[in-house]
């Protein structure tokens, strides 16, 4: 028996801008693609999706999707579109997968740990790469890769792709020499003061705005 998250869907006939009416009814439009077949528009319960999201279902999550009375099939959450203001999901893309065939995906990098250069020296953590390209069987694909920044103890150290640890069966396709994260030194007080206008030296002060007539 599968231990993957499961979700029920129904075939969708409403398309285009009319899908806004579905969203108002608590229905989330989605699409299934892949498997050598044309894409299929479907719809899922927005509430069911929210429950899954709270259980850490996100992009690159492998799950079982059952459409109507058909048999459930393994799919990968390929993308989740969100409203830019509310951050609520407005559309989901599911990719049909074969559990015996490797696939390539972009997986987000998530920093863990505490950098001394940030925590004690006031530096700023710079994320030089947000995702990494991986290949693996669908059942082995991670939803994210952790980057331990506790080794960043100064402003000269940089972590690279070669420093990453990935699960067994996962191959990194991104160049091993690519930089991932480093710490930028804080600007000195003298440098900050040097950027400020010197009013005493005759720099013009900003005029007060005139009152409306």
CB atoms within 10 A of CB 44: 22
pLDDT at residue 191, as a whole number: 53
Query: What is the H or E stretch that residue 24 is in?
Result: helix 19-24
Report the length, in residues, of the chain.
Answer: 213
pLDDT at residue 36, as a whole number: 87
Token pair in block for residue 81: 């579109």
pLDDT at residue 3, as a whole number: 87
Query: What is the H or E stretch that residue 40 is in?
Result: strand 37-45
Token pair in block for residue 89: 């999901």
pLDDT at residue 197, as a whole number: 54
Give the burial class of 91: count Cβ atoms within 10 A of its Cβ; 0-12 exposed, 13-18 middle, 19 or more buried. Answer: middle
| DSSP conformational letter for 206 | P
54-84 residue pLDDT tens: 999 999 999 999 999 999 999 999 999 999 9
Q: b/e for 3-30, b at 16 or more Cβ within 10 A?
A: ebbebebeebeeeeeebeebbeeebbbb
Q: Map out the domains of the chain with their CATH numbers.
A: 6-96 (2.40.240.10), 103-189 (2.170.120.20)
Give the burial class of 38: count Cβ atoms within 10 A of its Cβ; 0-12 exposed, 13-18 middle, 19 or more buried. Answer: exposed
First to last CA, the chain: 76
83 phi and psi, to 5 degrees? -70, 130
Alpha-carbon distance of 9 to 19, in angstroms, equals: 15
Sequential pLDDT tens for the chain (213 residues): 678 999 999 999 999 999 999 999 999 999 999 988 899 999 999 999 999 999 999 999 999 999 999 999 999 999 999 999 999 999 999 999 999 999 999 999 999 999 999 999 999 999 999 999 999 999 999 999 999 999 999 999 999 999 999 999 999 999 999 999 999 999 864 455 455 555 444 444 444 444 443
Q: What pTM was computed for the model?
A: 0.80
Alpha-carbon distance of 192 to 187, in angstroms, equals: 7
User: Do residues 159 and 152 lie in contact, with contact meaning Cβ atoms separated by under 8 Å?
Assistant: yes
Helices (H), 57-197: 116-119, 189-195
pLDDT at residue 189, as a whole number: 46
């Amino acid at each position: 028996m599968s231990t993957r998250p499961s979700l029920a869907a129904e075939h969708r006939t409403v398309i285009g801008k009319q899908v806004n009416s579905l969203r108002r009814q608590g229905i989330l439009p989605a699409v299934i693609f892949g498997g050598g077949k044309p894409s299929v528009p479907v719809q899922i319960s927005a509430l069911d999706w929210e429950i899954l999201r709270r259980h850490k279902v996100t992009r690159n999550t492998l799950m079982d999707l059952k459409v109507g009375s058909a048999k459930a099939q393994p799919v990968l959450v390929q993308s989740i579109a969100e409203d830019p203001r509310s951050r609520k999901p407005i559309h989901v893309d599911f990719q049909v997968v074969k559990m015996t065939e490797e696939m390539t995906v972009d997986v987000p990098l998530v920093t863990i740990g505490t950098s001394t250069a940030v925590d004690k020296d006031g530096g700023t953590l710079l994320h030089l790469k947000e995702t990494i390209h991986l290949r693996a069987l669908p059942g082995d694909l991670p939803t994210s890769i952790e980057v331990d920044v506790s080794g960043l103890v100064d402003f000269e150290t940089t972590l690279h792709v070669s420093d990453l640890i990935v699960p067994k069966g996962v191959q990194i396709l991104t160049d091993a020499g690519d930089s991932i994260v480093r710490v930028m030194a804080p600007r000195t007080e003298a440098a900050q003061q040097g950027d400020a206008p010197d009013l005493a030296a005759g720099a013009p002060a900003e005029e007060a705005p005139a009152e409306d007539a």
